[in-house]
Every structure is written in structure tokens, then in C-alpha cells.
Amino acid sequence: MIPAAFDYVRASSLAQAIELLRDNPDGAKLLAGGHTLLPALKLRLASPELLIDIGGISEIKGIEVGETHVKIGALTTHAELLASEPLNQIFPVFREAANVLADPQVRNRGTIGGSLANADPAADWPAVVLALRAEIEIAGAAGRRTVPAEDFFVDIFTTALEPDEVLAAIRIPRPKPGTRYTYRKIRHPASGFAVVGVAAGVQMQGDIVADVSIGITGAANHAFVGRAASDFLIGKALSQDNIGEAAKMVGDITECLSDRYAPAEYRADLIRIELGRALLALSS
């Protein structure tokens, strides 16, 4: 398939990209890695008049490890997240998740910012940033703002981004001592996307759960926090019974997507099973 005709500008700064978005409120699209947008153009699912290539904007590239936070530029590729030693020393969950995301070709071009901004209900990073309690840094014509990941994913392919805004970075608080994270995914056999993906973090104090965070993708219209399970587990032992009860709570209350491959009841079961397995892995 051949895309509809469009104009193309390679933005040299964030300010220029924002100005172009502001001047073309209905007809412009940002281009990052292109691994979602280009197929959409070819299939004519999107036909913007202007493509604003942000791939060369150095301000939104790279990984910074700070005293209190880790900051990941929106243009950081999946492959860079997989390979970064400083990042994975603190959050090995990035390697775990990037390893099961697509294939090396997609990982070399696709960006975490593009994935989060696109908000595909089956994408992997949304679950991870929710479990990490990340904040999304957004730059727009009205200035900068920060949105907790939990409020960023609004609906299917819909986020808190306004049309004239760019996702600039992901800011993650350093983990509290003793916190461990994991990501588990049931891959769709054809697309490789998550039928259900679960990211979880657990902080233990002795035998008692001091904190839990859970992000779930693939199951519903958008990635969400498994709050019922966290509320239930905090202050309890991470026993098989408690894990089973917590996982059941999230599966029971989630309104799941349904398709020919995975009906809603099956997805709800996968939440129960995969969340249970993730918590069990963090209990040992």
C-alpha cells in the first residue's frame, strides 16, 4: 500500500516541533521510530497532511540516572532500554520487558515515547511504567507539565496528551530498598503483542508486604493499575493463598477486551494466572 501524499519536516528542536503542531492542529503527526505510524500511513488508517519527524531532537534522547530519579528521553529505543547497564542495574525489568517486545528490527527503531503516546492496549511499556509509578513529562505550547502514568492512559489509543503536545520523557522514582520488579507476558502468536502483560513490583519488610505496585496491559481498553490486589496485599504475608486472592480480585473486576483469539473470560483468567505467577516470582 502507498500512503496518501504528505509534507515532511525534520524538526531540529522540541520548540520547533511544538510550533509545527500548534500551527497544524488537525493535520499533523509526529514521527518517532515510525514502527506504528508508517504501517498506519500505508494502510491509510492515518492520512496526515504533515509529518513532523522528531527523530533528530537530542533534548528528548537518552537515559539519565539521577540521585532520586531515572529519566528516560522519549526517543530512547527499545534496544537502548534493553542494552543500558546503568538503567538495568536499577531496574532490570526494562531488560526483561524489552526482551519480549517485538523483534530486534522493531526494537532498533521503535521508541518508548512512541509506544506510550500511541497507547495501543496491547503494548508492553504501559504496564511497566504503571508498575514503576512513573511520571510522564509533556512539553507543549503552554509549557511543560507532568502527568502520573496512572492518569496518562485514558482510553484505547487515547492518552492525556493534547494535540499540540509532545511526550518528552519518562521520570521514574528510584526504587525503595528491597523492591523488586518483574514483567510477564502472554504473546499473541501472530503479532507478538501482549494478550495480557503484567508488571509488578513488591517491597518486603521481613515477611510482610510493605508495598506493591501492579500494571496490566493487553486485557482492557487501556493499561491500568491493579489497585485491588495492592490494597489487599499490603501488610500481609506474600503467601500462596494471599497471592491467589489478590490475583483473583483484579481478574474479577476487570472489564476485558474480547476477540476471536482471546474472549474476555480467557483474558480475565490470564490476568489471574499471570499476576499470580508474577507475585509468586517476587515472593522467593
- Written as one letter, the residue type at 186 is I
Min dist CB 279 to ligand FAD, Å, is: 22
Q: Residue 68, Cβ neighbours under 10 Å: how many? A: 7
Nearer to ligand FAD, 65 or 160 (CB): 160
110 backbone dihedrals φ, ψ, rounded to 5°? -65, 145
Min dist CB 21 to ligand FAD, Å, is: 9
Nearer to ligand FAD, 154 or 234 (CB): 154
Min dist CB 197 to ligand FAD, Å, is: 8
Distance between CA 216 and CA 140 in Å, rounded?
A: 28
CA distances from 96 to 30, 78, 144 (A): 28, 11, 31
Min dist CB 37 to ligand FAD, Å, is: 3
Q: Name the closest residue to ligand FAD (Cβ).
A: 110
Min dist CB 105 to ligand FAD, Å, is: 8
Distance between CA 78 and CA 270 in Å, rounded?
A: 25
Nearer to ligand FAD, 48 or 251 (CB): 48
- What is the contact surface with ligand FAD in residues (CB under 6 A)? 29-37, 74, 101-102, 106, 110-111, 113-115, 117-118, 120, 123-124, 161, 166-167, 192-193
Nearer to ligand FAD, 26 or 241 (CB): 26
DSSP structure class, residue 175: P
Residue of 19, 98, 6 whose CA lies nearest to 57? 19
Nearer to ligand FAD, 45 or 253 (CB): 45
251 backbone dihedrals φ, ψ, rounded to 5°? -60, -40
Min dist CB 217 to ligand FAD, Å, is: 8
Nearer to ligand FAD, 180 or 188 (CB): 188
Q: What angle do CA 45, 50, 51 make, to 5 degrees?
A: 75
Contact 209, 236 (CB under 8 A): yes
Min dist CB 68 to ligand FAD, Å, is: 24
Nearer to ligand FAD, 73 or 201 (CB): 73
Distance between CA 247 and CA 116 in Å, rounded?
A: 25
Of all helices (H) and strands (E), which one includes residue 68? Answer: none
Residue of 106, 73, 278 whose CA lies nearest to 183? 278
Nearer to ligand FAD, 115 or 213 (CB): 115
- Would you tell me the crossing angle of helices 240-253 and 264-283 to the nearest 10 degrees? 150
Min dist CB 154 to ligand FAD, Å, is: 14
Distance between CA 209 and CA 56 in Å, rounded?
A: 44
